Each structure stands twice: as structure tokens, then as C-alpha cells.
Amino acid sequence: MAQYRRVSGSVGLITLQNPPVNALSASVRQGIVDSVKRALGDQKVKSVVICGQNGVFCGGADIREFGRQMSGPPLVPMIHDIEAANKPVVAAIEGSALGGGLELALGCHYRISHSKAVVYHCFIMTMSDQAKLGLPEVTLGLLPAAGGTQRLPRLIGVPAALNLITTGRHVTAAEALQLGILDHVTEHNTVDVAVKFALSVTGESLDGRRISSFSCAPLSDLDSLFEEAMLKVRSAARGAIAPVACVQAVRAAATLPYAQGMEREKELMATLFHSGQARALQYFFFAQRAVGRWSTPSGARWDTSQPRPVRKAAVIGLGTMGRGITVALAQAGLSVVAVETHAKQLMEATKAVPSMLKRGAVRGGTTIEPDSITYSQNLQAVADVDLVIEAVFEDMALKEKVFQQLSIICKPDTLLCTNTSSLDVDHLASQTRHPELVVGMHFFAPAHVMKLLEVVYGRRSSPAAVATAMQLGKKMGKVSVAVGNCRGFAGNRMLKRYLEQAFFLLEEGATPELVDRALEEFGFPMGVFRMSDLSGLDVGWRVRKADGLADTSLTGTSARVRQGCRYSPLGDLLCEHGRFGQKTGRGWYQYDKPGGRVAKSDPWLHNFLDEYRARHGLVPRCIDQQEVLERCLFVLINEGFQILEEGIAAGPEDIDAIYVFGYGWPRHRGGPMFYADMVGLERVVERLERYHQAHPDVPYLQPSGLLRRLVANGSPPIHKWRNVIKNRNSQL
Ligand SMILES: CC(C)(COP(=O)(O)OP(=O)(O)OC[C@H]1O[C@@H](n2cnc3c(N)ncnc32)[C@H](O)[C@@H]1OP(=O)(O)O)[C@@H](O)C(=O)NCCC(=O)NCCSC(=O)C[C@@H](O)CCCCCCCCCCCCC(=O)O
């Protein structure tokens, strides 16, 4: 809806009303059309102001309408009519003007926005803004198709418009003013200022105010600018089609008259609108928000659990993870006690952490209170903190000891969290006096950069403990996903199956290059072998050794079997050769030096694989990319269904968020569970069954019970899976 009233005698004020973000639903569009008509037809009205209720201008088109039959007045002619009006129209922008919201503002003759305060810091003036503006359609698999690709380059120039449209980034009011998107910013009430401004421009000529009549500022080398832009978007999101279409649409603005440019924008939008990528990205937009509404099988929920205030936190262990976590906590404004019992490691951390903070502050344009962190070699220093995150070496005996000590030293209500990536959270809880205050906070390296946080609740974790960890994660800028306690939790448990298949494919005749190419063409930034080289092959080796799996003394058929299932010792053998990946300059690939970054094919490795196959009587066969994708991805997806079945994750959105934010799953494919829905659950079952028949010694290729049940229920769309899961749980 839109509310219309006349204010200050001669200003028609149109207020968009569609909480929470005033999205341009059919009824809002109808309201705008009706109100504009009324204002233009009223002789008493000399100028018009458009604003949004509750301090938000407009979050753009209503994304939920995209999946349905479109109705109501279309945006393009609506904005055209506003621009063509013979009375000045002013956009009063508070909060967000995004997507269609900014396109609506670009159709107005003037744009005024709110800028909260002017702060003087070290002689540099910075504006602390509330408003954010942008054209984020590309992040939804679309382009700004209500004239955004044609008006923005005409207003601010092609290079700046290309940057905003292809990245979808939001800019502050200060930056928008600098770029020329805004005419004016104010610290006062934006609507009041806009009304006064509207009165002041009454009767002035609008000839120079209609952006569609502008020409793009000429540029000397347009071809190379667009070639460069195309290369950039192609390498930033491999296989994503929307950024490419955005470049093409802006090119049309730079080279064609406005009307033809609009035709091109429409044509390009038509190819994107019904694409699988747009569906995936729009699903993911809502999935990200759904993970915040967490629940556990015991009935704890986000809306009934009260988080505790956390002002002071401690980190135990200042290795790579501990340092990153310390930085993330300090960046979130907490006071941090950083404890490391090894003097040398502590000394190194006291230098490394401040420089990580400094780099972060420079990148983010923020400031950090330098004495928000205190360092100590003594665990007693954590006596008064509200929450502890243990990040010591991944060794159960060591962690047990730390938790026993923490339980004695800390206040009785201190939350004790572990950053373990796979160890048993319940067991650690059992070492403390208050197991209800123990949860896992599984960060991903580098912990101050990676967006994902798995919050692992144990059998006895209290709802308040889960809520506190979830809220702290959010404060640190993480996407926090609540998951149950099991080996590897959700992410690493699924990853294990994926890695196993990749090893088996090498045994059967594939090369690391072939497997990685298939995965990278699918959209992963790195294939599984390049990723292992980067993170270090020794990490998994240590875990397998601790589990009694990495025994390379076994010969004959038993060398490739563990606990009755197929096992590949390839990773263990490489580690025995001292090939730990990038850090040693050799792994699945070779590098020019230890620590080198550029992976090159390694003839030694290919020889090694040939000899290995010959030794085990394995006849190499031709493996194509499709098999690589199906074997690696479907087995990972199958484990995801198992995780849903067991209640370790509450819904498919949780798993998808974990994979996109933590494991490089291409966002334009929505996450593994959404991908399964797109491929078709029946097909996933059929392929898994086929591969299981061919490899009966790999039990995880058997389709999970939930996957089969979904197929038996007619393969409902992903948003209905929770019903099938719920029905199953209620029968238990
Ligand atoms: C606005 C935000 C920054 C606010 O953030 P905040 O953190 O405060 O709040 P939340 O993010 O939690 O959001 C709260 C709540 O609101 C929901 N929501 C937010 N935005 C939208 C929206 N735009 N639509 C619907 N719902 C929205 C959100 O999901 C939350 O609810 P939930 O229940 O999930 O918790 C932030 O929300 C934000 O960033 N929003 C998205 C901004 C955005 O991306 N906007 C762009 C939208 S796309 C667009 O505008 C397209 C335009 O260019 C118009 C194009 C014209 C279309 C014409 C169609 C032509 C079709 C042609 C092809 C046909 C061919 C053929 O069929 O033949």
C-alpha cells in the first residue's frame, strides 16, 4: 500500500507502507500509481515527496512475488510516469533504498537522504550513515530491470555504475553523495527536509532533472573497459550468469539511446528471470535469514530462549584459530582475555593479533580500542569473564584438562565453548560442573574472516547457552548455524564423504587435475585436491591416525579396507612421503617452493598413482566429469539427508548456509540440498543406487531413509521437506 496526503499546503506526500522493508509488492505499486495520479491531478499540489514508513525507504521489488504469477502495475512504466511528471518529485531516503527502491528514486527528479552524524576522527571527517543504497539484484541472479542499468550509468558514469551493478554492493549516503547518486544529505528529519526542498523547487524547470534524457559521459576506451569488467565478473563467480548480463546491460547504456537500452535491459532480464541460478540465489536469500530462527530437537527455539549478555570473553590457545577468534571478538567490541600457556606462542600472538586488527580496521574503515585485549600465560586470568572459547590443540585429553580447570576457575554462570572441529561436545561438557553451559563454537579458518560459525549444542546444553552463542556469532558478523553434536558436526561430516569419493576416483583412474577441473567448473573456487593442499594434508592424517585408520603397513586387500568398508590410504601415503601440500611445496600438486601458491601438475604424483594402482591390481578406467560430480556431490548430499533425518540440522537451509559460507559451495547453486531439489530427488536416488551397486563396499552410497521417503512422498519442493522430517520425528 501507499498512503497519500497533502502537507505544507502544496506538497503531495506519498508514503510506502509494506513492513518490514516497504518492498514494492503489487499493492504498493498500485498505491504509488494511484497516489502519483492524484498528486499530479490536484491543482493545489505543486510538488511531490516519496518516502517509506518506519524509517525505511524501500527494499526493492518484493522477492516473494518472483516465484508467483505477477500482477499489479509493472515497475518500468510506473517509474517512467514519475520521471515524466511536470511537477518536481523528490525521493526522501531513510534506511534502505535498494534494487527497485533505488530505481524508483532514480526516476524522481531529486534525491535526499539521511546521514546520521558527522564525526571528526584524527582530523578526518567521516559521516556515520544510516541509509544504504544499492542495486543488489545481481546477488539474486537478476539485474536492475526497472531502468537501473540505464539510469545509473547516465547519472554517475559508466565505471562507477558498472562497479555497483556487478557487485551489488551497498553504499552509504556519504558515498552516494560523493558518487552523485544523491543531491543532498541531512542529519535532520529527512522527510521534513525533503518537503521544504520540494517547496523550494516548485515551478522550476525539470529539463535537466530527468536522468533518462542524459547521455553517459564519454570514455576513451570503452571496449577495454567492458572487456576488463567481463573478465573480472567471470573470475569472481565462475559460471554465474547474472554478473555477465549486468555488464552487457551497462554496455547498452553506454552505447545505445535510452529507449533501446531499456529494450536490451528487458531482454537480458527475461533470460535471467526464470533461470535456475535466480531461483537458487533467491532461495538462498531467504535461507540465510531462516537459519537465525533456530530450533533443537529438545524444543529450544530462537524466539523463546533468552541470550545472556556477554561483555568480556576469553580465548584459550593462541594458535592460528585462537588468534583469529580473538580478533573477531575484539572487532565485535568485546573486552577479551587471550590466554596461551606457551611463552613463545604467547609472545608471537601479542605481535600478530594487533597487526591483524590493524589490517582489519584499515580494510573496514573502523577503529579498534587497542587495550580491549589483555594477554596472559595464566588460566586464572579468565576468572571474571562471561564466556570462554577454548581453541587449544585438537586433542581430547588436553581439552578435557582445560575444561576441568575452567570449570573450577570461572564464575559458575560462565559459558564454556569449544572450537573443536569434530570432538565430542557432550564429553567435554561432562568434564565440567555445569554441562548445561557448554556448547561448541566451531569457527572456520581464518576465523576473523570466514562468515560461518557452527554452534554445536550438546545433549545437556541449555537453551540460553545456545541462544548466547548464536547471538555472539551474529555480533561477530558471522552466519551462525545451530547444529547437533556428532562426529564432524554437519559440515565436516559431509565433507568426509566427499573427500573419500575423490580418493576412490583417483584409485579408479582419475587424476587430481580432472577431479578439480570438474568441481571448479561446477563453481567451487578450488577443487578438492587444491583445497587439501592449501589446508594441509597432515590435518586429516593426524585425525585418521588418532582413529587408528592410517595404517600403511597393511598389504593386499586389507590395505584398502577398514571396518569392513572401502578405504583409500592414498592421503596417508602422501603424508608419509612428507607431502603435506603447499606448506611443504608438494602435495597433490607441486609448488615452486614451500609455501608456494601456484599448483602445477606433478609427474611424480602421476607415477605414484600408476604404481599404486598396479600394486593393488586396479585397472584404470576413463572417468568423465559427470561421474566426478555425481560421486562427490551426491554422496555429500546423501550425508546431508542423513543429518536432517537424525535432527543434527533442523532444516535444509542450515546445511546450505554451512556449505555456501564455510566450504565454497557456489552460491548461485543454492547449496547442496537446494541443488538436490533442482536436480530432482528421484535422479539423486537413482544415481546413488547405481553407484552403490557398482561399489557395494561403500555403504554411504546407499540413499538415506529420508531421501527415499521424500521421493515416496512425491518429491515435495525443498520448503516442504521440514513437514516430512517432522512427521518422521513425531512417529518416533
Ligand atoms: C532491506 C534490507 C537491507 C533490510 O535488512 P534487515 O537486516 O533490516 O532485515 P532482513 O534482511 O532480516 O529483512 C527483514 C524481512 O524482510 C524480508 N525482505 C527483505 N527484503 C525483501 C524484499 N525485497 N522482498 C521481500 N522480502 C524482503 C526478509 O526476507 C525478512 O523476512 P524473513 O521472513 O525472511 O526474515 C535487507 O532485507 C535486504 O537486503 N533486502 C533485499 C534487498 C534487495 O535485494 N532488493 C532487490 C530486490 S530485486 C529488485 O528490486 C528487482 C528490480 O530491479 C525490479 C525489476 C523489475 C522486475 C520486473 C519483472 C520482469 C520479469 C521479466 C521476465 C519475464 C519473462 C517472461 O515471463 O516472459
- Which has the higher per-residue pLDDT, 589 or 121? 589
- 565, 581, 616 - which closes a domain: 616
Does the pLDDT of residue 53 top 90, yes or no? yes
Ligand 1 atom, smallest distance to 56 CA: 1
Q: Which atom of ligand 1 is nearest to the CA of 285?
A: 29
Query: What is the residue with the minimal CA distance to atom 7 of ligand 1?
Result: 289
Which atom of ligand 1 has the smallest separation from the CA of 143? 53
Is any ligand 1 atom within 6 A of the Cβ of residue 318?
no
- Given a cut of 60, whether residue 564 has pLDDT beyond it is yes
- List C-alpha distances in Å: 74 to 25, 101, 276, 401, 509: 10, 14, 23, 65, 55
Q: How confident is the model at residue 728 (pLDDT cuts 50, 70, 90)?
A: low
* Cross-strand pairs, 114: 186
Q: Which cell goes with 385?
A: 569473564
Task: Give the atom of ligand 1 at the shortest distance from the alpha carbon of 70.
Answer: 59
562 and 458 fall within a common domain: no
Check whether residue 432 and residue 517 sit in a common domain: no
Q: Catalytic residues, which ones?
A: 103, 137
Is the C-beta atom of 203 inside 6 A of ligand 1? no
- The CA 155 to ligand 1 mean position distance, Å, reads 24
Q: How far is ligand 1, taken at its centre, from the CA of residue 62, in Å? A: 5
pLDDT tens per residue across span 216-248: 999 999 999 999 999 999 998 889 999 999 999
Confidence of residue 122 (pLDDT cuts 50, 70, 90): very low
Q: Is 108 within a domain?
A: yes
**312: pLDDT strictly greater than 50:** yes
CA 708/CA 681 separation, integer angstroms:
8
Q: How far does the centroid of ligand 1 lie from the alpha carbon of residue 399, in Å? A: 45
Check which CATH number belongs to the domain holding 342 and give it: 3.40.50.720
Cβ 50 under 6 angstroms from ligand 1? no
Regarding the beta carbon of 653 and ligand 1, being less than 6 Å apart is answered no
Atom of ligand 1 nearest to the CA of 100: 50
Question: Ligand 1, atom 3: nearest CA belongs to which residue?
Answer: 96
DSSP string, 639-661: HHHHHHHTTSSSSHHHHHHHHHH
Q: Would you list the DSSP string of 258-304?
A: HHHHHHHHHHHHHHHHT-HHHHHHHHHHHHHHHTTS-B-TTS-BTTT
- Ligand 1 atom 40: residue of nearest CA: 59
C-alpha 130 to ligand 1 mean position (Å): 19
User: In the block, which residue shows the cell 536490451?
Assistant: 264
Nearest CA to ligand 1 atom 62: 270
| 130 pLDDT more than 90 | no
Q: Name the phi and psi angles at 595, rounded to 5.
A: 90, -5
Residue where one domain finishes, among candidates 444, 472, 487? 487
Q: Report the nearest atom of ligand 1 relative to the CA of 136.
A: 44
Does residue 141 line the site of ligand 1, with CB under 6 A? no
Residue 201 has pLDDT above 80, yes or no: yes
Give the Å distance between the CA of 286 and the centre of ligand 1.
9
| Whether residue 543 has pLDDT greater than 90 | no
Nearest atom of ligand 1 to the alpha carbon of 62: 24
Q: Over 90: is that where the pLDDT of 726 sits?
A: no
If you compute the radius of gyration of the chain from its CA atoms, what whole number of angstroms results? 29
Ligand 1 site, residue 75, Cβ cutoff 6 A: yes
Q: Measuring from atom 35 of ligand 1, which residue has the nearest CA?
A: 289
Q: Is residue 297 part of a domain?
A: no
* Residue 67 or residue 57, greater confidence: 57
Nearest residue CA, atom 10 of ligand 1? 289
Total domains, the chain: 4
DSSP letters along 565-597, please?
EE---HHHHHHHTT--BGGGTBSSSB-SSTT--
Q: Which residues, in sequence order, are CB contacts of 254 under 8 Å at separation 6+?
A: 153, 158, 216, 219, 222, 226
Residue burial 508-544, b: 16+ Cβ < 10 Å; e: rest: bebbbbbbbebbbebbbebbbbbbbbeebbbebbbbb
- Report which protein residue has its CA nearest ligand 1's atom 42: 59
Ligand 1 closest atom vs CA 135: 46
Residue 494 lies in a domain: no
Centre of ligand 1 to C-alpha 600, Å, is 43
63 Cβ below 6 A of ligand 1:
yes
User: Cα of 265 to ligand 1 centre, how many Å?
Assistant: 19
Q: How confident is the model at residue 363 (pLDDT cuts 50, 70, 90)?
A: confident
CATH number at residue 162: 3.90.226.10
Residues 574 and 639 in one domain: no
Which H helix or E strand runs over 33? Answer: helix 26-41
Same domain, residue pair 340 and 474: yes
**Alpha carbon of 63 to ligand 1 centroid (Å):** 4
Residues 522 and 470 placed together within one structural domain of the fold: no
Residues spanned by the domain of 330: 312-487
**pLDDT of residue 116 exceeding 50:** yes
Report pLDDT for 546.
86
- Structural domain includes residue 79: yes
Q: Is 286 in the pocket of ligand 1 (CB under 6 A)?
A: yes
Over 70: is that where the pLDDT of 125 sits? no
pLDDT digits (tens, 9 = 90+) for 655-686: 999 999 999 999 999 999 999 999 999 999 99
Residue 731: pLDDT band (50, 70, 90) is: very low
Of 24, 53, 63, the residue with max ligand 1 atoms within 8 A of its CB, to mutate for a pocket test, comes to 63
Q: Cβ(577) to ligand 1 under 6 A? A: no
Residue with CA closest to ligand 1 atom 64: 270
Q: Please tell me the distance between residue 570's alpha carbon and the centre of ligand 1 in angstroms.
A: 47
Is 505 inside a domain boundary? Answer: no
> Using a 6 Å cutoff on CB, does residue 185 contact ligand 1?
no
As a dihedral over the C-alpha atoms of residue 44, residue 50, residue 54, residue 55, rounded to 10 degrees, the angle is: -130
- Whether ligand 1 lies within 6 angstroms of the CB of 136 is answered as yes
Q: What pLDDT, on a 0 to 100 scale, did the predictor assign at position 123? A: 36
* Ligand 1 centroid distance, CA of 37 (Å): 26
Q: Is any atom of ligand 1 closer than 6 Å to the C-beta of 540? A: no
Counts of helices then strands in the chain (DSSP H, E): 28, 21
Q: Answer yes or no: do 600 and 639 share one domain.
A: no
pLDDT at 117: 59
Find out whether the beta carbon of 20 lies less than 6 Å from any atom of ligand 1. yes
Q: Is 148 in the pocket of ligand 1 (CB under 6 A)?
A: yes
Judged by DSSP in three states, 20 sits in: coil
- 171 in any annotated domain: yes
- The pLDDT of residue 46 is 98
Give the whole-angstrom CA distance, residue 474 versus residue 456.
15
Pocket test residue of 16, 18, 21, 294 for ligand 1, highest count of atoms within 8 A of CB = 21
Closest residue by Cα to atom 57, ligand 1, is 145
C-alpha–C-alpha distance, residues 238 and 84, integer Å: 40
Distance of CA 265 to the CA centre of its chain: 27
Instruction: Tell me the pTM.
Output: 0.95
Kindly give the number of the ligand 1 atom that is closest to the alpha carbon of 76.
56
Q: Is 221 helix (H, G, I), strand (E, B) or coil?
A: coil
Whether residue 632 has its Cβ less than 6 Å from ligand 1: no
**Lowest-pLDDT range of 196-210, 234-248, 367-381, 669-683:** 367-381
C-alpha cell, 61 = 521489488
124 pLDDT higher than 60: no
Instruction: Count Cβ atoms below 10 Å from residue 704 Cβ, excluding itself.
Output: 21
**Average pLDDT score over residue span 320-336:** 96
Q: What is the ipTM of this complex?
A: 0.98
Distance 136 CA to ligand 1 centre (A): 9
Average pLDDT over residues 246-269: 98
175 and 55 inside one domain: yes
Is 291 a domain residue?
no
Q: Decide if 675 contacts 681 (C-beta within 8 A).
A: no
Share of residues in the chain with pLDDT > 70 (%): 97
| Ligand 1 atom index nearest CA of 66 | 59
Instruction: Give the chain's mean pLDDT.
Output: 94
Q: What is the CATH number of the domain that holds 533?
A: 1.10.1040.10
Q: How far is the CA of 23 from the centre of ligand 1 (A)?
A: 7
Q: Which helix (H) or strand (E) holds 125?
A: strand 124-128
Name the DSSP class of 556: G
How many whole angstroms from 282 Cα to the centroid of ligand 1? 9
Together in a domain, 84 and 213: yes
* Residue 384 placed within a domain: yes
List, edge to edge, every strand of the sheet that includes 438-443: 373-376, 335-339, 312-316, 387-390, 415-418, 438-443, 452-457, 479-484
Note the pLDDT tens digit of each residue in 441-453. 999 999 999 999 9
Tell me which of 248, 274, 300 is where a domain ends: 274
pLDDT band at 558, cuts 50/70/90?
Answer: confident
pLDDT band at 646 (very low <50, low <70, confident <90, very high): very high
Mean pLDDT of the 91-110 span: 98
- Any atom of ligand 1 within 6 Å of the Cβ of 289: yes
Are residue 657 and residue 722 in the same domain, yes or no? yes
Which residues are paired to 48 by β-bridges?
12, 89
Q: Are residues 131 and 183 in the same domain?
A: yes
pLDDT value at residue 729: 56
pLDDT surpasses 60 at 118: no
Q: What is the pLDDT of residue 120?
A: 41
Is the distance from the beta carbon of residue 293 to the nearest atom of ligand 1 less than 6 Å?
no
Give me the percent of the chain exceeding a pLDDT of 90.
90
Ligand 1 atom index nearest CA of 75: 56
**Across residues 21-31, what is the average pLDDT?**
98
Are the C-beta atoms of residues 587 and 574 closer than 8 Å to each other? yes
- For the cut 80, the answer to whether the pLDDT of residue 724 exceeds it is yes
> Are both 447 and 535 inside the same structural domain?
no
Same domain for 151 and 235, yes or no, is yes
